[in-house]
Amino acid sequence: MISAFFIFNQKGEVLISRLFRQDVKRSISDVFRIQVISNPDVRSPIITLGSTSFFHVRINNVYVVGVTKCNASAALVFEFLYRFITISRSYFSKLDEESVKNNFVLIYELLDEIIDFGFPQNSEIDTLKMYITTESIKSEMAVREDSSKITIQATGATSWRRSDVKYRKNEAFVDVIETVNLLMSKEGAVLRADVDGQILMRAYLSGTPECKFGLNDKLVLQKRYVSSYGNEASKSDDAVELDDCQFHQCVRLGKFDSDRSISFIPPDGEFELMRYRSTSNINLPFRLQTHVTEPSKSRVEYTIHLRANFDPKLNANNVLLRIPTPLNTTGVQTKVGVGKAKYVPGENVIVWKIPRLQGAQECTLTAEADLAATTHRQAWSRPPIQVDFSVVMFTASGLLVRFLKVFEKSGYQSVKWVRYLSKANGSYQIRVSLEYPLPRKTD
Amino acid sequence: MAMAPPRKGENYELRQQLNSEYREKRADAIKRVIANHTIGKDCSGLFPDVVKNMQTDDLEQKKLVYLYLMNYAKTQPELVILAVNTFVKDTADPNPLVRALAIRTMSILRAEKILDYLASPLSRCLKDDNPYVRKTAALCVAKVFDLKSELCVEYGFVETLRDLIGDGNPMVVANAVAALADIYEASLNLPDTPPTSPGRSSPPPSSKPNPELFIIDPPTLTKLLVALNECSEWGRIAILNTLARYKALDEKESEHICERVMPQFQHVNAAVVLGAVKVIMIHMKAVTREDLIKSLTRKMAPPLVTLISSPPEVQWVALRNINLLLQKRPGILANEMRVFFCKYNDPPYVKVEKLDIMVRLASEKNVDTLLGELKEYASEVDVDFVRKAVRAVGQVAIKIDEAAERCVGVLMELIETRVSYVVQEAVIVIKDIFRKYPHSYEGIIPTLCANLEELDEPEAKASLIWIIGEYAEKIENADELLGTFLESFKEESYPVQLQTLTAIVKLFLKKPDESQTIVQKVLQAATKDCDSADVRDRAYIYWRLLSSDPAAAKSVVLAVRPPISLPQTTVAPAILEELLAEVSSLASVYHKPAATFIGKGRLGAEEMQRRALEPEEENAREKALQTVVAGQQAENLLDFDADDEPQPSSAGGSQSLSMLGKGGISSSTISNVAKSTNPLDELMDLFSTASMTTPATQPVAPKSTVSGIQGLQDDRQDTNTTHDAFAGLTGLGSPPQGLGDGNGVTSPVQSQGQGQQSGGAQDDLLGLF
């Protein structure tokens, strides 16, 4: 199990140190500083020195480190480190050196609660916030009032929900957020297209509501079902094939496994109900045609043609293309019909921003990059073009929420809202073919 | 901000504040003390002043004081006693949070004195009404056991813990299970006879709990399976770990466990998913129902793929585990290769792992897409990754016969780029392809030779020289090409020297008329000017072979090599089983048994070797005998131990020899063996060194021996290098003979060449006696 937990800044100074077991000493932090932080060759996130293993995650300008001396579950340690990051974010919005320094008392308090003797305990943000708050006075009052309720909740079968929640208006908001992953080859063939979906829910419901949730997933988790129905059937039903689903711990997995129904008692407030993955029939929201030529040794010409491939009634927001240029680029002239394009020398990319793009709309960028004459051409790895975007009320997988039913013993009516969003953030990549030979070694 | 710069007399100032009459000031001072401690300043001097602040209604302040106590109790054992009263009082506080906090802190103060006061509050808390207190107390038992195991046994805490498995609250169950597992681990390391503690006249209490307490019986199993679905994610991991340790009574129970654990695949926490995979891999062994096995493996695939969308560190852990799972069940992800395509912005450690998995998943169906990807990767800038991508092309060629031609095409395109490291890696890879498919792609040899000047790495050079030697009869200017290497013979590294030597001898045997002078020169150079014993020895062997019997030399040097293939596994089968039982752990990430990197008695290389061989132990003696016999009869000079295992030859050899000693083979047999080679007695000395050292110095893969001997190199390149070891050996000798053939017939009419070859094996025996 985890023997110690540290947070380091980039210089290797200890910001937080907490030992859980006596098999490590505080001085172990020096080992990490010397062997990992000041060693530029470290490539692996787990380093084992002697019999001590260091697991680290770098985030902003800090290292979050777990130390163990046994054959611990590596997945558990990383999940815990990431959970710690999530919790920190929800408490003080950003985890960096400054926020750690400002909140070190709170962090110790949190650590005390979420991990004991190296075993992670309760890490439900909702519950933690009940008795660990940033304002100590309030917490004191709250704790004295219902500390026994807290402890019941922190350990109970529904550890994620208080029993006495009351709202005048009962509402539930469902957000379906899809991250589209695309990898397109130079030749325009789709190498990989899939969707990582997330269903976020904000539940403002009184009492202990029992929810049932339905998607147009045709209750299929396995491809075998589809093959027995045939593709036509599934298409006419608008059913979506989900390759895999994962649920918040409130969802009854046994029930899902037996009859594929999603039923749960939701936590109060915001939470991630489920994650899913879909790989078939992905509607790619953007098509890209690229034409990149190198007419002479000192120039590269780009023609990038972008088409919004969705319903004209919908809009894409914040479309951003990052078009890489060779490393010896000295300047770029760009011409665009829509949006703004700018060359960013520090990152060797042309950034093309389109704040708003209607469905079915097309636009083009032409650019000329001037290259400095070099005796030895640096190998340029030709990074792919990235497209970032968000399209509201559009799901690339075609997923729809069929129903959300809420049952509560008082029998109140509740209002439900559903939103859809498809987005990409660095995951929508199109490889570029440069119509000049691969970088050659010049003698 | 509490982290003020240090000033003179800061501790003095803090002390003043800690004793202040204002609560605010005191609270602030405690925070500063903790801040100072965090940055490594010694605050132990403030102990009494901090402890005074322990009695407070402010829970936050209490927590901070407790935190201070945890850190300094050990340094101030005398003063800890000051705090005991408050602690004991707090464990009976009406507020369950305070009770839990007090018992939690008290049990980790590393002070002997306080432990004696702990027993009664702890037994009270273990039976507390509030589950929060109970779950905290459950872990406290493990803490106390860690500090003073006798205490736990004396008060029967372990028994109480065991009873908690039946608790109605899933969190309590999970923590009890986790604590029991922890205690079990710790108790394995305890001495059997309890140490006599000074100051006790009565017989010392046993420090080892009754081992039966850790055995899970079927009723407990039922409770665990129920709790599994109800408790928090971390609790689930603890329960899954325990289920992994459970020995099912019969197949039905195994099936039941698998069915109940399967829903956990849908959990959002990667550690839970991998924990479930572990339990199922273990219990699936006992399942024989085909349909269930099928459905289990099919359901395992999607969650594994989903893990690839996790943050990179988790992804990496998942990839390493997938790599292991594929070695056992290659089919599970057969259609999922695309998700393993590297993203441009993946961290390098993820990319390398993905590459390896892609090669594992390569099949005739997807090979074209894969090659396209690999070609793409070969144009990236990270040299290490590019090399691995090129190497992967070669691995695919060796794995899929039908795709070999396309792979060669890709490699030729890559050579076109003339990027130095790409070309060199491609040459190395092509050598392997020639080994696998001899005489198929001779057409590309001229292109390779055209790149002669580009090569500056020993391995690439050695590979190209090997190719030239191999196809000397087809390359018109082979003597010229080899001549260029001969010119710089002295400056070359030993692997290159060895290959040059062998290649020129091959050339001579193939075209004796044209290369008389060059072979003379190389033998001269290798025996006179070279300071490597291996090179000299090999040159002497060739020299005498050539001068005594050219026909024998031909049969030795130009012998057909054994085919190479891409091994399915990178770890020995026994170790693979062991690792699969520990999926998601560090061991499974490193692909090494846990004992190799944790604990005091870390396993050395020898132990690893032993364990890797364990399943074959029964055969080992027989094998050893056969090795001797084979030595008499064999056609191979140096491959006396190069059977088809991926084990290092030298270590494997000594193993068989030591077995042999125990096996009690009469020394007369040995001397008979030795006599049969009498015409070559004079060569004995040479052979002994040559045969013993060749594995370590074979030209193409210097790494393989090292990795093999350590047995724990997780370098995946081994798939190739182990075979390279043979390449090196067989460059000189002929293929290892099937050991089964040797049945002890000593044939006096062996050809001279064969007699010579047996020398290597025999000489080792002589060395032993």
Q: What is the pLDDT of residues B79-94, one digit of tens each?
A: 788 788 888 888 888 8
Instruction: Give pLDDT < 50 ranges for chain A.
Output: 136-141, 143, 220-236, 436-443
Identify the pLDDT of residue B606: 54
Q: Vertex A61, ends A59 and A66: CA angle to 5°?
A: 55
CB contacts < 8 A (A, B): 276
Q: B334-366 burial by CB neighbour count: b if 16+ within 10 A, else e?
A: eebbbbbbbbbebeebbbbbbbbbbbbbbbeeb
Residue B659 has pLDDT above 70, yes or no: no
pLDDT of residue B486: 85
Domain boundaries, chain A: 4-123, 171-229+239-283+394-424, 286-393
Phi, psi of A287 (to 5 degrees): -115, 145
Instruction: Give the side-chain half-sphere CA count within 13 A for B721.
Output: 25
Q: Final residue of a domain: which of B269, B287, B305?
A: B287
In this structure, the answer to whether residues B236 and B176 fall within a common structural domain is no
Does B108 lie in the same domain as B49? yes
Determine the distance in angstroms separating the CA of A251 from the nearest CA of chain B, rounded to an integer.
9
Three-state secondary structure call for residue B568? coil
B698-724: pLDDT as tens digits = 333 333 333 333 333 333 333 343 344
At B403, give phi and psi (nearest 5°): -95, -5
| Strand bridging mode A415-424 / A171-184 | parallel
End-to-end Cα spacing for chain B = 76
The answer to whether A42 contacts chain B (CB < 8 Å) is no
Decide if A4-123 and A171-229+239-283+394-424 have a common fold.
no
**How distant is the alpha carbon of residue A232 from its chain centre?**
33
Block residue for tokens 């950003």: A94
> Which 99-118 residues of chain A touch chain B by CB within 8 A?
101-102, 104-105, 108-109, 112, 116-117
- Predicted pLDDT at B72: 80
| Contact between A14 and B602 using a beta-carbon 8 Å cutoff | no
Chain B positions touching A183 (Cβ under 8 A) are 341, 343
Q: Are B38 and B176 contained in the same domain?
A: yes
Please give the residue of chain A at the shortest CA–CA distance from B267: A246
Minimal C-alpha gap between A146 and chain B (Å): 9
Q: Which chain A residue's Cα is nearest to B177?
A: A119
* Distance in angstroms (rounded) separating the CA atoms of residues B508 and B62: 88
Phi, psi of A351 (to 5 degrees): -105, 125
- The residue type of A284 is L
Q: Is residue B203 part of a domain?
A: no
Chain-chain contact of A79 with B314 (C-beta, under 8 angstroms)? yes
Q: Residue A185 is nearest to which of B262, B372, B582, comparing CB atoms?
A: B372
Chain B residue whose CA is closest to A386: B344
How does pLDDT run across B435-461, given as a tens digit for each residue? Answer: 888 888 888 888 888 888 878 888 999
pLDDT at B2 over 60: no
The model's pLDDT over B416-439, given as tens digits with 9 standing for 90+, comes to 888 888 999 999 999 999 888 888
Contact across the interface for A45 and B313, Cβ inside 8 Å: yes
**Shortest Cα distance from B633 to chain A (angstroms)?**
47
DSSP single-letter state for residue B474: T
Q: Which of B152, B89, B95 is nearest to B126 (CA)?
A: B152
Query: Final residue of a domain: which of B260, B287, B314?
Result: B287
- Identify whether B526 is part of a domain: no
Q: Give which of B352, B321, B431 is closest to B715, Cα–Cα.
A: B352
* Whole-number Å distance between alpha carbons of B431 and B440: 12
Residues B276 and B183 in one domain: no
Summarize pLDDT for B102-147 with one digit per residue, the tens. Answer: 898 888 887 777 788 888 889 889 988 888 889 899 999 988 888 8
Mapping DSSP to helix (H, G, I), strand (E, B) and coil, where does residue B585 land? strand
Interface test with B, best of A18, A19, A63, A71 (most B CBs within 10 A): A71
DSSP annotation of B644 = S
Question: A9, A37 in Cβ contact below 8 A?
Answer: no
Nearest CB among B38, B233, B369 relative to A16 is that of B38
Sign of CA dihedral B297, B298, B299, B302: positive
Gap from A277 CA to chain B (nearest CA, Å): 7
Q: How many helices (H) and strands (E) does chain B have?
A: 39, 0
How many angstroms separate the CA atoms of B542 and B548, rounded? 10
| pLDDT greater than 80 at residue B310 | yes
B464, part of any domain:
no
Q: Do B379 and A196 touch (CB under 8 A)?
A: no
| Alpha helix (H) residue ranges in B229-378 | 233-245, 251-261, 270-284, 290-306, 312-328, 348-361, 367-377
Model confidence pLDDT, tens digit, residues B168-201: 888 889 999 999 988 888 888 776 544 444 444 4
Question: Is 80 exceeded by the pLDDT of residue B675?
Answer: no
Closest residue of chain B to A425, computed from CA coordinates: B345
Last residue of a domain, one of B246, B269, B287: B287
Same domain, B138 and B240: no
A425 and chain B in contact, CB less than 8 A = no
Contact check, Cβ <8 Å, B234/A222: no
The sign of the torsion formed by the CA atoms of B476, B478, B483, B488 equals positive
Query: Cβ–Cβ of B175/A119 closer than 8 Å?
Result: yes
Contacts with B38 (C-beta within 8 Å, 6 or more apart), sequence order: A14, A15, A16, A17, A104
Are B77 and B157 in a shared domain?
yes
* Beta-carbon separation of B170 and A247 below 8 A: no
* Residue B538, both tokens: 């090999």
**Between A51, A191, A246, which is nearest B306 by CB?**
A246
- Beta partners for residue B159, in sequence order: none
Interface contact A148-B271, CB threshold 8 A = no
Contacting A residues, span 181-200, partner chain B, CB-CB under 8 Å: 181, 183, 185, 191-192, 194, 196
State whether CATH 1.10.287.130 applies to domain A171-229+239-283+394-424: no
Total of domains in chain B:
3
Q: Is residue B603 part of a domain?
A: yes
pLDDT tier at B406 (50, 70, 90 boundaries)?
very high
B706: amino acid identity, one letter: V
CATH assignment of the domain containing B29? 1.25.10.10
Do residues B639 and B733 make contact, with C-beta atoms less than 8 angstroms apart? yes
**Encoding tokens for residue B558?**
């130009």
How many other CB atoms are there within 10 angstroms of residue A194's CB atom?
Answer: 24
**Residue of chain B nearest A378, judged by CA positions:** B381
Neighbours of A187 (CB within 10 A): 9
Q: Which residue has the higher pLDDT, A152 or B379?
A: B379
The Cα of B411 is separated from the nearest Cα of chain A by a number of Å equal to 14
Other Cβ atoms closer than 10 A to B277: 26
* Exposed / middle / buried, residue B280 (Cβ in 10 Å: 0-12, 13-18, 19+): buried
A140 and chain B in contact, CB less than 8 A? yes
Smallest Cβ–Cβ distance between A253 and the set B59, B264, B600 belongs to B264
Residue B596: closest C-alpha in chain A: A51
Inside any domain, residue B342: no
Chain A residues with beta carbon closer than 8 angstroms to that of B420: 441
Given a cut of 70, whether residue B207 has pLDDT beyond it is no
C-alpha–C-alpha distance, residues B678 and B380, integer Å: 59
Confidence of residue B8 (pLDDT cuts 50, 70, 90): low
Q: What is the pLDDT of residues B312-362, one digit of tens each?
A: 999 999 999 999 999 988 888 888 888 899 988 889 999 999 999 999 999
Whether the CB of A49 is below 8 Å from some CB of chain B: the reply is: no
Reported as a single tens digit per residue, the pLDDT across A31-64 is: 888 888 888 777 789 988 888 899 999 998 899 9
| pLDDT > 70 fraction of chain B, expressed in percent and rounded | 75
Query: Which residue of A155, A272, A438 to mutate against B (max B Cβ within 10 Å)?
Result: A155
User: What is the pTM (predicted TM-score) of this model?
Assistant: 0.77
Contact between chains at A121 and B234 (C-beta distance less than 8 A): yes
pLDDT single digits (tens) B477-516: 888 888 888 888 888 888 898 999 999 998 888 888 878 8
First to last CA, chain A: 56
The per-residue pLDDT for A146 is 61
Residue in B92, B61, B103, B59 with CA at minimum distance from that of residue A144: B59
Considering the domain architecture, whether residues B223 and B96 belong to the same structural domain is answered as no
CA of A312 to nearest chain B CA: how many angstroms apart?
31
Domain range for B93 is: 9-188+210-215
Q: Is the domain of B184 the same as that of B225?
A: no
Report the C-alpha gap between B627 and B610 in whole angstroms: 18
Task: Kindly identify which residue of chain A lies nearest to residue B185, measuring between CA atoms.
Answer: A70
Q: Which fold has domain A4-123?
A: Beta-Lactamase (3.30.450)
CA distances from B729 to B22, B209, B334, B611, B637 (A): 83, 55, 36, 26, 9
The minimum CA-CA distance between A90 and chain B, rounded to whole Å, is 18
Three-class SS state of B267: strand
With beta carbons under 8 A apart, name residues in chain B contacting A73.
Answer: 237, 241, 271, 274-275, 584-586
B130 & B279 share domain:
no
Helix or strand run (H / E) with residue B407: helix B404-417
The predicted complex's ipTM stands at 0.79
Q: B131 is written with which tokens?
A: 């589950």
Q: What is the mean pLDDT of chain B?
A: 75
Check whether residue B608 and residue B742 sit in a common domain. Answer: yes
Q: Determine the pLDDT at residue B198.
A: 46
Which of A104, A123, A147 to substitute to test the interface with B, most B CBs within 10 Å? Answer: A147
Adjacent-strand bridge partners of A46? A55
Whether domain A286-393 has CATH 2.60.40.1170: the reply is yes
CA–CA separation, B185 and A236 (whole Å) = 57
Residues of A in contact with B132 (CB under 8 A): 150-152, 154-155
Residue given tokens 């000051």 in the structure block? B82
The kind and range of the H/E element at B539 are helix B533-548
β-pair partners for A315: A358
Flag if A79 and B316 touch (Cβ within 8 Å). Answer: no
Residue B370: the pLDDT is 92
Dihedral over Cα of A15, A21, A27, A30: its sign:
negative
d(CA B679, CA B756): 9
| Degrees, nearest 5: CA angle B175-B180-B185 | 130
Do A75 and B314 lie within an 8 Å CB cutoff? yes
Three-state SS annotation for chain A: CEEEEEEEECCCCEEEEEECCCCCCCCHHHHHHHHHHCCCCCCCCEEEECCEEEEEEEECCEEEEEEECCCCEHHHHHHHHHHHHHHHHHHHCCCCHHHHHHCHHHHHHHHHHHEECCEECCCCHHHHHHHCCCCHHHHHHHHHHHHHHHHHHHHCCCCCCCCCCCCCCCEEEEEEEEEEEEEECCCCCEEEEEEEEEEEEEEECCCCCEEEEEECCCCCCCHHHHHHHCHHHHHHCCCCCCCEEEECCCECHHHHHHHCCEEECCCCEEEEEEEEEECCCCCCCEEEEEEEEEEECCEEEEEEEEEECCCCCCEEEEEEEEEECCCCEEEEEEEECCCEEEEEHHHCEEEEEEEEEECCCEEEEEEEEEECCCCCCCCCCCCCEEEEEEEECCCCCCCCEEEEEEECCCCCCCEEEEEEEEEECCCEEECCCEECCCCCCCC
Residues B171, B228 within the same domain: no
Nearest to B719 by CA among B421, B312, B362, B378: B362
How distant is the Cα of B127 from the closest Cα of chain A, in angstroms? 15
Q: How far is A169 from chain B (nearest CA, A)?
A: 30
Chain B closest-CA separation from residue A393 CA (Å)? 23
Token pair belonging to B363: 């099949």
Instruction: Output B388 or B151, whichever has higher pLDDT.
Output: B388
Decide if B598 and A71 are in contact by the 8 Å CB cutoff. Answer: yes
Residues B70 and B183 placed together within one structural domain of the fold: yes
CA dist B610 and B31 (Å) reads 55
Q: Alpha-carbon distance B114 to B106, whole Å?
A: 8
Confidence grade of residue B690 (pLDDT, cut at 50, 70, 90):
very low
Which residues fall within 8 angstroms of residue B64, CB to CB, at 6 or more apart? A105, A108, B30, B31, B34
**What is the reported pLDDT for A413?**
87
Contacts of A82 in chain B (CB under 8 A): 311, 313-314
Residue B345 lies in a domain: no
Task: Describe chain B by its helix, strand, coil percentages, rounded to 5.
Answer: 70, 0, 30
Residue at B318 is within a domain: no
